[in-house]
Chain A
Amino acid sequence: MATEMTTKQAIDAVEPVKAPSRRRNRRATIAWLIVQRGLMGVVTLWCISVIVFVATQAMPGDVAHIILGAGATADQIAQLNKNMGLDEPLLTQYWDWLGNVLTGNMGNSLVSGQPVSELLSERIFNSATLTVIAMILILPLSLLVGLLAAVFRDRFFDRSYLGTSLVVTATPDFVLGSLVIAVFGTVVFKVLPPVSLIPPGDAPWQHPKQLIMPLAVMTLVGVTYLSRLVRVSFIDVLESEYVQLATIKGLSTRRILFRHALPNALAPSIPAASIMAAYTIAGSVVIEYLFGYPGIGSALVDAVAGHDLPMVQAIIMLMAAAFFCFNQLADVLGTLNKSR
């Protein structure tokens, strides 16, 4: 899904720009592209906000009933309706809600009563730390693996790499994670803690041992996805005429690989890395829940289980916005590549 998205979106994005601005200089094209993307982005984010609102607060049926459960008294329901403004018309509710979201006021958690933004800030920090470390590991590793697979194309290394990546891509994250826990955490080696509980107030890197397993799973999934794209673009470059010419000229393999092939093969992988960051956000829900890591993904699972409506709305808006931003970034990067 991810790859097909970039190329298609990149083509879509190029088409309208091309015609009027072929004569204009490149900088104007880029500026126009960014403005266009920005406008599209605002519209899309607005659509997302409508979807989130419709799916939660505007759901047919009594929202207060769903939140409080079957045993709620009429008094409690009336109180909640009043507190959350559920007795007002839907459109008013939506505008109030949207205004609050835009000003960063996401309401109070129904479970603990604290402001959602306060509860989430530490969770967001934890998740971001995990994602950033994972990306730092994934990028050089996938470059290395992809390069090796391309150089040894159709040989043993490449074959076994392709087989492994096919299996890993198809395996759900929670299955991989459970197997990793079984091997290193509880059953076979017992060297790592099976859960990654970070005490509140501590920074995640103060507990490096807890981070190893979630990072290992995220890195494994990320590397298998990204290195395949690196491999394909390397093969393309290695088959191109200028690399063939360099070989005929008698340049050393190392020089060809690092001076000539690497910069050209790198270009298509950059947007892919951004797409992958987007998918890491969606994947974090499963991985954080599996390891009990106190991030935004496990917060979502808890919030849904506890019918904590403001929390659910806030987390999903955040995730969708982040996912969308990374996708757009990938798009713009891809288009820049193309126009070069």
Chain B
Amino acid sequence: MIRTRPREQGEQEVQAPPKNLTRRVLTSRQTRLGLIMLLTMIVFAIVGPFLAPHSPTAVMAKPYAPPGDGLLLGADSLGRDIVSRILSGGANLTWMAIAATALGVALGTTIGLVAAFAGGIVDMLLMRVVDVLLTFPTIIMAILFISMVGPSRWILVVLVAIGLTPGMARVMRGSARPVMRREHVMWARTVGLSSRHILMREVLPSVTSPLMVEIGLRLMWSVVGLASLSFLGFGVQPPASDWGLMVSENKDGLAIQPLAVFIPAVCVALFTIGGNLFAEGAARVIGRTEGTRS
């Protein structure tokens, strides 16, 4: 039934995969490239505001003025320096995406592990709540709340995190369920260790592989979500600078000043593609190595 292709078999005999998960995942070129792209974009977004030659909100020239007069790429729809706006447009997106991912992953993992650990009625109730939340597309739910509360940055972070939580809970419950039947967890339960201790020390370390893949994926989704909300006008508010916002601000001047749309769009794309490369590469490495271990 199970036929391993000869080439793959040969490879595995030559070099056993490293035991350490991080090092094992980084053996793949795809994951390394993804991680490098992610880190580059994060560093660019954090350092960018300090390198900006002008204030990102100051009006320097006529709308859509061509390059010149100390403006390297010209001016945007309101006559502000495009270079400065690009350099300072990633900071908000980056911290908000990272915060939303951290919050969403933490919440989702907690719910998933508790559901798998408790089982029975608790499991059923939690999963029903997750089902209901899953019927709401993240972006629609975010728009619903923003329509009344207004787009404050922390509310955006919380909304995106809530959007990430149900999917995360599903995945973590799925991977934690088989772990619950392993000997070390059964032992810990019999001995009577506290639930908290069992979940943190016995179960969590056994589900780090899916966790790593999910973090990459969820980071990508939060960047996509936050940038899309900014693009729709429900995210970071003008006059602050933001890549998603820049695309919608300057899209009417696409014919005159295409770079004002193009560069921010590519910045967002590089960020999300990096996350996806990392997640898919990691998933492939983990699938290949852990499938053969057990």
Contacts and interface: CB of A to CB of B under 8 A. Distances in A.
Contact of A312 (B147, B149, B220): B147
Tell me what chain A mostly uses at the interface: helix, strand, loop, or mixed: helix
Interface in B99-137: 127, 131-132, 134-137
A56 B144 contact: yes
Given A181-B254, A279-B137, A172 B276 contact: no
A218 to B, nearest CB: 15
Interface residues of A, number: 54
Contact of B174 (A8, A166, A179, A181): A8
Interface of B: 3, 127, 131-132, 134-141, 143-149, 167, 170-171, 174, 220-221, 223-224, 227-228, 231-234, 244, 247-248, 251, 254-255, 258, 261-262, 265-266, 268-269, 272-273, 275-277, 280
Most central of A56, A172, A305 by chain B CB within 10 Å: A172
Contacts of B261: 178, 182
A186 interface: yes
Tell me what chain B mostly uses at the interface: helix, strand, loop, or mixed: helix
A55 B144 contact: yes
B135 A320 contact: yes
B243 to A, nearest CB: 9
A175 interface: yes
Contact of B258 (A56, A171, A187): A187
Contacts of A320: 135-136, 140
Contacts of B141: 51
B231 A286 contact: yes
A5 B168 CA distance: 11
A304 B147 contact: yes
B292 to A, nearest CB: 18
A4 B255 CA distance: 41
B269 A172 contact: yes
B251 A178 contact: yes
Contacts of A303: 147
A187 B234 contact: no
Interface of A: 1, 4-5, 8-9, 12, 44, 47-48, 51-52, 55-56, 59, 63, 66, 166-167, 169-175, 178-179, 181-182, 185-187, 194, 239, 279, 281-282, 285-286, 289-290, 300-301, 303-305, 307, 312, 316, 319-320, 323-324, 327
Nearest to B30: A166
Given A178-B251, A307-B147, A48 B132 contact: yes
B244 to A, nearest CB: 7
A171 B135 CA distance: 23
Nearest to B132: A47
Nearest to A63: B148
